[in-house]
Structure 1
Amino acid sequence: MKSVYQEKLKRNNVLDRLRDLNITHTKQGQPIEALGYASLKRELAIAAFREQIIR
């Protein structure tokens, strides 16, 4: 079983990556800090997809 510390590190890593992309809120207006890990991963995937389209 993964420790709470590991889960927190993973969540913070995704938060940092989203912030690096200047994403602070979801399309629905929810702050990313309020999201769980699964939702953060989904937002990161969407952001990565958008980055690829723009380039």
Structure 2
Amino acid sequence: MEKAMHGAHGISYEVYSMDHDARMEVERKREQDYIKSQRMVADLDRRVHS
């Protein structure tokens, strides 16, 4: 989990768990990535069913 956290977000899990601002930044990025992926899926779905 440590390697994944560091690779994906550039911070250690220890920093993530102890630093509220760092945690909020990671969660904002995760939410943006989720929204982006949902838009991509919707776009592909529209193309397939058109």
Q: TM-score, structure 2 length as denominator?
A: 0.48
**Higher relative contact order at CA 8 Å, sep ≥6: structure 1 or structure 2?**
1
Q: TM-score, normalised by structure 1?
A: 0.45
Structure whose alpha-carbon radius of gyration is higher: 2
Give the number of the structure whose residues are more often helix, by fraction: 2
